[in-house]
Amino acid sequence: MNLILFGPPGAGKGTQAKKMVDLYGIPQISTGDILRANVREGTELGLAAKAYMDKGELVPDEVLIGIIKNRLKEPDCEKGFILDGYPRTKPQADALAALLDGINKPIDVVLNLEVPDEELVERISGRLMCNNCGASYHRTFNPPKKEGVCDTCGGELFQRADDREEAVQNRLNVYKKQTQPLIDYYAEKGILVTLEGTKDINEVFEDIKAVLTKFA
Ligand code: ADP
Ligand code: ADP
Ligand code: ZN
């Protein structure tokens, strides 16, 4: 099963991806997590990406296309994968299509999580992320069992720098301008499924499972 989880920042892509990994046994490929790991480790890539991420701008396409090319070659992607946060621009979508055509592994479904802006801002401003496994929590909507600690891996929870007020509105604007147009692109290919991302976490997951029964 080759999937794209699509939607604005805060829509719940990472949250649903983690649940899908557990159920379907295919990896989550989160370009945000990959970039943050590079920033943390101080790699050349991380140093180049950080300024864009802090401002809520997109990291240049060449960088992302390189990351995805390498990641999809890994053996754990053979049975399928869940792309989370990629593609975000038309050039990224074109590069992905060329890459997957080359290995004859087309995208089966694009799951588009729809959530209105006001709710996105509430979700992002209360988000806490695990510094070890990248799991997302929320101060009120999805609190961890023990304050500050990840339920699944025991990692420490932190607030992302780009989840503080200033960068958030910019990320929503960037999404509308550069990423949202991909909805039409995938709809035209006949592989887009739009889901109500405003339902609670488990209900959204039920809806996803219902869509994926055809493919799993
Ligand atoms: P994305 O990966 O799309 O940016 P996340 O999965 O990190 O989004 O979710 C953003 C925030 O919203 C997190 O704090 C998460 O706990 C919370 N969240 C995710 N899904 C829901 C939901 N269905 N209802 C309420 N809060 C949610
Ligand atoms: P969110 O789900 O809240 O939008 P992500 O973790 O997916 O956050 O992304 C965080 C930041 O990493 C983005 O604001 C952007 O700077 C960078 N980034 C992640 N994925 C991409 C991508 N596909 N193209 C360009 N930049 C990206
Ligand atoms: Zn964790």
> What secondary structure does DSSP assign to 131-170, as a single string?
TTT--EEETTTB--SBTTB-TTT-PBEE--GGGSHHHHHH
pLDDT band at 44 (very low <50, low <70, confident <90, very high): very high
pLDDT at 116: 98
Q: Which of 118, 120, 125, 127 to mutate to test the pocket of ligand 1 (most atoms within 8 A of CB)?
A: 127
How many Cβ atoms are within 10 Å of 54's Cβ, its own excluded? 15
User: CA separation (Å) from 132 to 16, 64, 167?
Assistant: 18, 22, 23
Split at pLDDT 50, 70, 90, the class of 197 is very high
Nearest CA to ligand 1 atom 19: 12
pLDDT at 215: 86
Closest residue by CA, ligand 1 atom 9: 12
The pLDDT score that the predictor gives to residue 165 is 78
Whether 210 shows a pLDDT value over 80: the answer reads: yes
Q: Cα–Cα–Cα angle for 3, 20, 32, nearest 5°?
A: 65
Q: What is the pLDDT of residues 79-131, one digit of tens each?
A: 999 999 999 999 999 999 999 999 999 999 999 999 999 999 999 999 999 99
CB-based contact 115:195 (threshold 8 Å): no
Determine the pLDDT at residue 17. 98
Ligand 1 atom closest to 204 (CA): 23
Topology of domain 2-26+79-115+166-212, CATH:
Rossmann fold (3.40.50)
The minimum-distance atom of ligand 1 relative to the CA of 201 is 23
Q: Quote the pLDDT of residue 52.
A: 96
* Res 166: pLDDT: 81
Q: Write 20-25 long-range contacts (CB < 8 A, 24+).
A: 20/82, 20/205, 20/208, 21/82, 23/209, 24/80, 24/212, 24/216, 25/79
The mean per-residue pLDDT over the stretch 58-78 comes to 97
Catalytically active residues, by annotation: 13, 88, 127, 160, 171
To test ligand 1's pocket by mutation, which of 15, 171, 174 has the most ligand atoms within 8 angstroms of CB?
Answer: 15
pLDDT average, residue stretch 134-153 = 97
pLDDT for 101: 93
